[in-house]
């Protein structure tokens, strides 16, 4: 089953074209990576998938239903939340400063599932544990955690909903290597047949290689190359993809550096 169908997505801000006629599909259980340097339009694609940004033109179908613009009921919002969730690179602004970590997760759970208080607590602690956090973290506020820990809370909150599609926008980039490996393993487990699909946005091609089946390379808003991730990394066909690959291992490489 196709869980996401994006067709000729376009987003224009004034004179500048952030996304130019981008089309792709994501199948159930598939992991699709979107790679490209900073400013290539990846985040704008992600925001459109979530309905946080309205495409200038083009269509998005999520789980078989077209996502239109306009206001939706809270019931419909809840339903959409079960279809697609996003984790951003810096989730600090998306966490309520006054809400304890345990409550962040349990609020997300109780919105979508009817659980007894004991089940809610058990599930909350299991989710925290799955992202490498402990019971003691449940009582803390976001500001009492490190950036990487907050990132993991945002991942746990998104996973709690058991969405059909999880969009990760540079969501593991800032984590240290061992935690990153734990999260990537967790994501791989959750993909099990019939499980979650991912749209994995990253400039880190090593991570992309681990987590995705298919990769889409974006440059200046457009798709320049796509294919099975392993093939694309091993034998890139486009100069831009080759430059992107060649740019990675050098010391001092920054995703924001322009490739010309
Ligand atoms: N709200 C906005 N208003 C005006 N221009 C925008 C807006 N959002 C994005 N852009 C522009 O659209 C282009 C694509 O940005 P986008 O954030 O999608 O790229 P990206 O590949 O995700 O980069 P990064 O990795 O830095 O997030 C950029 O030139 C950016 O400046």
> How much is the pTM?
0.90
Question: Does ligand 1 come within 6 angstroms of the Cβ of 49?
Answer: no
Atom 13 in ligand 1: which residue has the minimum CA distance? Answer: 18
Question: Does ligand 1 come within 6 angstroms of the Cβ of 42?
Answer: yes
Residue 34: closest CA among 257, 255, 258: 255
* Structural domains of the chain ordered from first start: 30-41+72-247 (3.40.50.300)
Question: Does ligand 1 come within 6 angstroms of the Cβ of 13?
Answer: yes
Report pLDDT for 248: 64
Report pLDDT for 177: 87
Report pLDDT for 7: 97
ipTM: 0.91
Q: Give distance in angstroms: CA of 38 to centre of ligand 1.
A: 8
Tens of pLDDT along the chain (260 residues) come to 999 999 999 999 999 999 999 999 999 999 999 999 889 999 999 999 999 999 999 999 999 998 876 778 889 889 999 999 999 887 677 789 999 999 999 999 999 999 999 999 999 999 999 999 999 999 999 999 988 899 999 999 999 999 999 999 998 888 888 888 888 988 988 887 778 999 999 988 888 998 999 999 999 999 999 999 999 999 999 999 998 888 765 444 455 555 54
Report pLDDT for 63: 93
Q: Which mutation among 14, 22, 33, 39 tests ligand 1's pocket best, with the greatest number of atoms within 8 A of CB?
A: 39
Report pLDDT for 173: 83
DSSP 216-242: EEEETTEEEEEEEHHHHHHS--SHHHH
Residue 197 DSSP SS3: strand
CA dihedral 168→52→244→180, nearest 10 degrees, is -20
Tokens representing residue 46 in the block: 């992600």
- Contacts by 185-188, CB closer than 8 A, 24 or more apart: 186/130, 186/131, 186/159, 187/211
Report pLDDT for 252: 47
């Amino acid at each position: 089953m196709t869980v996401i169908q994006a067709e000729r997505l376009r987003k224009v801000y004034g004179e500048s074209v952030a996304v130019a006629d981008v089309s792709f599909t994501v199948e159930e259980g598939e992991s699709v990576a979107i790679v490209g340097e900073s400013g290539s339009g990846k985040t704008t694609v992600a925001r459109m998938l979530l309905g946080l940004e309205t495409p200038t033109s083009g269509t998005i179908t999520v789980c078989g239903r077209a996502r239109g613009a306009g206001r939706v009921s809270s019931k419909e919002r809840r339903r959409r939340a079960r279809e697609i969730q996003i984790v951003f690179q810096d989730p600090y602004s998306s966490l309520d400063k006054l809400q304890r970590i345990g409550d962040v997760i349990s609020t997300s759970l109780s919105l979508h599932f009817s659980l007894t208080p004991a089940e809610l607590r058990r599930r909350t602690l299991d989710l925290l544990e799955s992202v490498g956090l402990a019971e003691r973290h449940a009582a803390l506020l976001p500001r009492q955690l490190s950036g990487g820990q907050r990132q993991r809370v945002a991942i746990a909150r998104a996973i709690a909903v058991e969405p059909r599609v999880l969009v990760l926008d540079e969501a593991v980039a800032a984590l240290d290597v061992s935690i990153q490996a734990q999260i990537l393993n967790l994501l791989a487990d959750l993909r099990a047949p019939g499980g979650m699909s991912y749209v994995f946005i990253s400039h880190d091609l090593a991570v992309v290689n681990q987590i995705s089946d298919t990769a889409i390379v974006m440059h200046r808003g457009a798709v320049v190359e796509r294919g099975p991730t392993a093939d694309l990394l091993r034998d890139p066909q486009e100069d831009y993809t080759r430059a992107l690959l060649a740019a990675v291992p050098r010391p001092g490489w920054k995703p924001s550096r322009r490739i010309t």
